[in-house]
Structure 1
Amino acid sequence: MKFKFNLKREIKIGAAILVILAIIAFTERRRGEVSIKDISVKIDNVHENHFLDEADVMDLMQLNQQNLKGAEMTSVNLKDIEKRVKAEPFIRDAQLYSDLKGNVVVSVELRRPIARIVRNDGPDGYIAEDGRVMPVSDKFTSRVVLISGGYIRQLLKQKTVDETEEGAQLMELIKAIRDDEFWSAQIAQLDIDSKARITMFSQVGDERIEFGKPDNLEVKFSKLKIFYKEILPRMGWNKYKRVNLEYEGQIVAE
């Protein structure tokens, strides 16, 4: 095997490497000389979930904005601060970065709640869109479907609600309610027993809807819509106290 040595090419490659190294060294030196001039906190509130504000994010950073300003950039570990911010349950993601002018930007994406856990033996909480359970907030209350019952203890043991098959089905049910204008307005609460059997309570009417396990959603919701659209208008909204959707091909109303 023969190798052909090209002196001019090797010189060009070597010169390019030296230039790149020089630029890196210059950039690092400039960064070391730069002090933090400004801090910008950007919070993604596209869904209007104001659980945190800019002051809360600054507190999570465990740094006072005035003290941080003027500090040398090399004395601040942005990765450590980013990790600390991401540990907050309300925050789904966070990115911290700086530029050569001394500006630090903190970009935060908040979790979106889709259900609220209510219980008598402990504090309430929210189920987020990504399945995480997060605490309630004094700053903001989200209007979402309520979750109660013995199954809550199982949910609180999991890192995310959808870790189990039944949990994943429950998430699909909650999202189906949220994404449908009629059901999101009609269904107020899901009471789930220890065996993951669901009883629904509506915003209008006194009926108890025995939904069963969170499976066959399309079939069960189709039957429930028949009940609301065709049966109740004829029979009256206070006619029935119990509606069962678990039997195949029929609706049981008493």
Structure 2
Amino acid sequence: MKIKRFLKYMLFLVLIGCLSFLYSFSSIRNQQKKVTEIIVEFEDGDNNFLTHAMVNKLLIQNQETVQNQAKSVIDLYNLENNVSKNPYVEKAAVFLTVQGVLKSVIKQRTPVARVINKNDSYYIDKEGVKVPLSDNYSARVLLVSGVKDEDDVSEILPLIDTILKDNFLRKEVVGIEKSDANEYQFSVRSGNYKIDFGNLTEVDVKFKKLKAFYNKTFEDETIQIYKTINVKYHNQVVCTK
């Protein structure tokens, strides 16, 4: 019985040794494999700022492309970090497959508005992150002026979000201008008149008044006679011709 137990124990050790050797051998061969291909995938959504070629240029290590380099020398963390630093990238994942393919999965930022100032112009996304203008693509988004700093951007984001979530307002409101008095005026698609919205109090109430006014004046086609439509005041809409 002791001999059988000893033989089983030795067999177990031999199996462990063989498995360890095979794993080590396989691991070494895998690390010696070279990167055979670079694949860039964009997540679903508006993917207009970055091209596959632009991302490939970001996948540089030691001033050289990673293609044909050994898998063992690829620094995935630095490559992913380099791609993530691009202002058009919201998030990125860079990884190697067993077959030696370097794969990058990119989610691009989606602009919700374009801020226009005297000396600068840029997009902002839903989080208020600055996104530079692009030579590849011009996004059709709300135009925002009078916004001077990050605090102004943070203040206006909920207003933009409310407009974009409403089917009618999203099509009708094309521009937002902030005054020095912290009041807002809208430019619209349906005419040359302006909407004086006031400050950002009772936002939902003001939009309800505005849409009710639209329903009436669109029906009798009188809305075009006005220059401004003011919804700042409680329970009333004041218009000027």
Separation in 2 of the partners of 1:20 and 1:114?
A: 55
Structure 1 unaligned regions, length at least 5: 1-10
1:247–1:67 CA distance, 2 compared to 1 (3 A): closer
Instruction: Give deviations 1:186-240, integer Å, cap 9, x for gaps.
Output: 1110001244321111112222211122332221110110121113543623221
Q: Determine if the alignment matches structure 1 residue 88 to structure 2 residue 74.
A: no
Q: 1:5 matched to which residue of 2?
A: none
**Shift in Å, 1:25:** 4.3
Aligned to 1:210: 196
2:186 counterpart residue number: 200
For the pair 1:148 / 2:131, whether they are aligned, the reply is no
Correspondence for 1:173: 159
- Which residue is equivalent to 2:100? 102
**In the TM superposition, what is the alpha-carbon distance from 1:21 to its structure 2 partner?**
7.0
Tell me how far apart the structure 2 counterparts of residues 26 and 52 of structure 1 sit (CA, whole Å).
Answer: 40
- Three-state SS of the structure 2 residue aligned to 1:238 is helix
1:249 pairs with one of 212, 230, 235:
235
Aligned length: 229
Gap change, CA 1:222 and 1:104, over 3 Å in 2: same
Cross-structure match for 2:126? 129
In structure 2, give the amino acid aligned to 1:38.
E
Whole-angstrom CA distance in 1 between matches of 2:221 and 2:59:
59
Partner of 2:6: none
For structure 2, which runs of at least 5 residues remain unmatched after alignment? Answer: 1-8
Q: Structure 1 length normalisation: TM-score?
A: 0.80
Corresponding position: 1:71 with 2:66? no
- Structure 1 residue 154: Cα displacement: 1.6
Name the larger-Rg structure: 2
Q: Which amino acid aligns with 1:177?
A: I
Q: Over aligned residues, Cα RMSD in angstroms? A: 2.8
Provide the residue aligned with 1:138 in structure 2: 135
| Aligned pairs for 1:30-41 within 5 A | 30-41=29-40
Distance 2:57 2:65 in 1: 13
**What residue identity is the alignment partner of 1:221?**
F
Q: Deviations over 1:11-70 (max 9, x none)?
A: 9xx9899899768745642332111111111012x3333100100101122369x94322
- State TM-score, norm by structure 2: 0.84
Any idea what SS the aligned residue of 1:29 has? Answer: helix
Q: In 2, distance between residues paired with 1:127 and 1:93?
A: 16
